[in-house]
């Protein structure tokens, strides 16, 4: 584990116990009797998370890369059909056979060709359940060149499309590490007592990270309370916590906290302290001045300040900020830069335009 002051290193991923196998029940099997029963909603009647995959552009026919992942609780096995209405030249449909009861993730395939570049609302139907999701159709057939783009990953600020890649550089170099590559994988991770499904991101340094979004402009991580691709504490619990790290609809100056995380240990030897940690987030700016990094100019950027705070076990202690920094999220491209207030400042910056699938 490489160190600078404060301690900063790559997270070691040892949390596979929280991964759940994805079931894609789209098998066209004949000869099975019965009709599957199940629900798209939870016990309170709320629709479960729907994950959108692929790019959607005017006059570009949908392919096998265009689909939605739907959480279904099958209560009886048998044949099923899950589908949407047809809107703006597109629809989603899948039929197959549920071979077991319980929670499953079903892949609903996209069909058709978008007609208009606009936000498009769909109604999803299964048995007597109705749920809703939206897709933003881009006005052209591709992502723009280095100025913020037009349609990548449905126009959000943290793409999670499988196969997307980002290449970052540590400045100054972190030990022997200069650059590393991050790739969004195909795995979706279910976390106990969490309605979201997390996209699994892997790095060229063999580390793993988990990110999700709720479809309403709030982006979550299942992690420690540190900055992405860094590690501050010398000891952490064997579980992660979920918290929002970006709210694209929040106003400049809005702030929020993660839950308390611990116990953690800060420092080593006789000066080590044990206690709890949390992160406080503040929207610093939104889509104001273009941001240049890695030789590219990004015009739609949200800057989020993150203050990492520590609460010592010592009697009478209060939360103290031990590290601060800004993260820069570009629309269509995700995290493009982090500037962490160490001495000297530690940058984790893209060195080229990210590739968004």
Domain assignment present for 15? no
Whether the full predicted model's pTM is greater than 0.85, yes or no, is no
C-alpha separations of 149 from 32, 66, 122 in Å: 47, 19, 25
Domain assignment present for 177? yes
Domain assignment present for 259? yes
Query: Into how many domains does the chain fold?
Result: 2
Share of the chain above pLDDT 70, in %: 86
Do residues 130 and 158 both lie within one domain? no
- CATH code: domain of residue 218: 2.40.360
pLDDT-based confidence at 152, cuts 50/70/90? very low
Do residues 247 and 275 both lie within one domain? yes
Choice among 8-22, 284-298, 329-343 with the minimum mean pLDDT: 8-22
Do residues 270 and 325 both lie within one domain? yes
pLDDT of residue 140: 43
Q: What is the pLDDT of residues 299-318, one digit of tens each?
A: 999 999 999 999 999 999 99
Range of the domain at 66: 37-136
Do residues 80 and 160 both lie within one domain? no
Do residues 170 and 313 both lie within one domain? yes
Do residues 299 and 192 both lie within one domain? yes
Do residues 303 and 203 both lie within one domain? yes
């Amino acid at each position: 584990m490489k160190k600078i002051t404060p301690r900063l290193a790559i997270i070691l991923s040892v949390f596979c116990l929280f991964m759940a196998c994805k079931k894609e029940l789209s098998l066209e099997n004949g000869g099975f009797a019965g009709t599957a029963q199940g629900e798209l909603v939870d016990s309170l009647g709320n629709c479960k998370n729907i994950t959108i995959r692929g790019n959607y552009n005017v006059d570009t026919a949908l392919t096998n890369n265009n689909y939605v992942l739907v959480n279904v609780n099958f209560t009886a096995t048998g044949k099923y059909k899950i589908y949407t209405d047809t809107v703006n030249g597109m629809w989603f449909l899948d039929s197959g056979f549920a071979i077991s009861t319980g929670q499953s993730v079903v892949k609903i395939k996209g069909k058709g060709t978008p007609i208009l570049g606009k936000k498009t609302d769909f109604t999803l139907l299964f048995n007597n359940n109705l749920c809703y999701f939206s897709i933003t159709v881009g006005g052209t057939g591709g992502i723009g060149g280095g100025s913020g783009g037009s349609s990548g990953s449905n126009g959000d600020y943290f793409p999670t499309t499988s196969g997307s890649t980002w290449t970052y550089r540590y400045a100054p170099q972190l030990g022997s590490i200069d650059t590393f590559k991050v790739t969004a994988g195909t795995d979706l991770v279910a976390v106990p007592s969490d309605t979201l499904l997390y996209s699994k991101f892997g790095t060229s340094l063999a580390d793993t990270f988990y990110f999700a979004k709720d479809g309403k402009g709030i982006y979550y991580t299942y992690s420690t309370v540190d900055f992405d691709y860094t590690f501050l504490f010398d000891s952490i619990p064997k579980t992660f916590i979920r918290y929002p790290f970006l709210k694209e609809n929040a106003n400049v100056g809005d702030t929020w906290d993660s839950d308390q995380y611990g116990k953690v240990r800060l420092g080593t030897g006789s000066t080590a302290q044990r206690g709890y940690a949390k992160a406080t987030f503040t929207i610093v700016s939104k889509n104001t001045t273009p941001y240049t990094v890695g030789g590219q100019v990004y015009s739609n950027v949200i800057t989020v300040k993150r203050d990492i705070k520590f609460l010592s076990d010592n009697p009478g202690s209060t939360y103290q900020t031990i590290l601060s920094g800004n993260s820069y999220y570009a629309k269509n491209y995700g995290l493009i830069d982090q500037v962490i207030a160490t001495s000297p400042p530690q940058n984790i910056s893209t060195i080229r335009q990210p590739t968004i699938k």
